[in-house]
């Protein structure tokens, strides 16, 4: 399996926030997406999920970004945990397992969630909710993981466990793009985003040039 991202760019709010990103990934490889706040890491991840209109193209084994075939190959975790707070931890995972066909108990076990399987998800701590959200990844059994700061709220031990799970995913031929500010201790290839070239500004306007302050 091979991912080709070819000059993907994106505008948000009428402003160009992502400029012509190109990269390739082979089966078993992962990228650590880096760069300062606001440079476009989340935008690129969301764009590759098909959630934002883009210029350029991306293909995963010939399946084009935006097609249903592409969507069937990706698993996404964003800043929100995407859990159902009135269901218990176990019910959340069984719901996802019913959709994807994975093993809910194995996912509970893998993410150290078995001791709180009967707790309503809405009553979990931030780190517990994050682990529950991440557990969907292994249930989905999809090859390309698009992860936006997956370890936020995780303690050191659960960050290590998540690193092991991601490593296993890559070992079996998965692919991953991970926006992260921390070192996960894995052999992820760094890809540093830089801001898109700025639109020309009116040099005489202090409110645009920044000379005001």
Ligand X SMILES: Nc1ncnc2c1ncn2[C@@H]1O[C@H](COP(=O)(O)OP(=O)(O)OP(=O)(O)O)[C@@H](O)[C@H]1O
Shortest reach from residue 206's CB to ligand X, in Å: 21
Shorter beta-carbon distance to ligand X: residue 14 or 62? 14
Q: Which is nearer to ligand X, 10 or 170 (CB)?
A: 10
> Which residues make up the interface to ligand X (CB under 6 A)?
12-13, 17, 35, 37-43
Q: Give the start-end residues of each E strand in the chain.
A: 2-12, 15-26, 30-34, 55-60, 63-64, 74-77, 144-148, 175-179, 189-192
Residues 6+ apart with CB under 8 A from 144: 3, 60, 73, 74, 75, 174, 175, 176, 177
What CA–CA distance (Å, rounded) separates 31 from 202? 38
Smallest distance, Å, CB 46 to ligand X? 8
Smallest separation (angstroms) from ligand X to the CB of 154: 16
Residue number, 13 or 62, with CB nearest to ligand X: 13
Alpha-carbon gap, residue 164 to 18, rounded angstroms: 31
Q: Which is nearer to ligand X, 13 or 200 (CB)?
A: 13
For ligand X, give the closer residue by CB, 78 or 143: 78
For ligand X, give the closer residue by CB, 39 or 75: 39
Q: What is the dihedral of CA 92, 96, 102, 103, to 10 degrees?
A: 10
CB of 185 to ligand X, least distance (A): 20
Residue whose C-beta lies closest to ligand X: 13
CA angle 106, 110, 115 (to 5 degrees): 90
Residue 43 CA to residue 13 CA, distance in Å, equals 12
Q: How far is the CB of 14 from ligand X (least distance, A)?
A: 8
Contacts of residue 120, Cβ cutoff 8 Å, sequence gap at least 6: 85, 86, 87, 88
Please report how close the Cβ of residue 165 comes to ligand X at its closest, in angstroms.
Answer: 22
End-to-end CA, the chain: 51
């Amino acid at each position: 399996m091979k991912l080709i991202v070819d000059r993907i760019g994106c505008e948000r709010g009428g402003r160009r926030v992502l400029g012509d990103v190109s990269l390739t990934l082979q089966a078993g490889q992962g990228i650590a997406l880096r760069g300062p706040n606001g440079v476009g890491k989340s935008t690129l991840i969301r764009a590759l999920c098909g959630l934002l209109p883009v210029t350029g193209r991306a293909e995963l084994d010939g399946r084009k970004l935006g097609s249903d075939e592409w969507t069937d190959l990706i698993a996404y975790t964003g800043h929100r945990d995407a859990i159902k707070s009135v269901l218990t931890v176990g019910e959340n995972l069984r719901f996802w397992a019913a959709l994807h066909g994975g093993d809910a108990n194995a996912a509970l076990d893998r993410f150290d969630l078995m001791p709180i399987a009967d707790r309503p998800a809405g009553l979990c701590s931030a780190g517990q909710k994050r682990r529950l959200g991440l557990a969907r990844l292994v249930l989905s059994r999809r090859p390309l993981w698009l992860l936006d700061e997956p370890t936020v709220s995780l303690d050191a031990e659960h960050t290590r466990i998540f690193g092991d799970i991601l490593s296993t995913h890559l070992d079996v031929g998965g692919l991953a793009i991970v926006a992260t500010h921390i070192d996960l201790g894995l052999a992820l290839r760094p890809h540093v985003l830089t801001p898109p070239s700025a639109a020309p500004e009116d040099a005489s306007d202090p409110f645009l040039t920044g000379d005001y302050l």
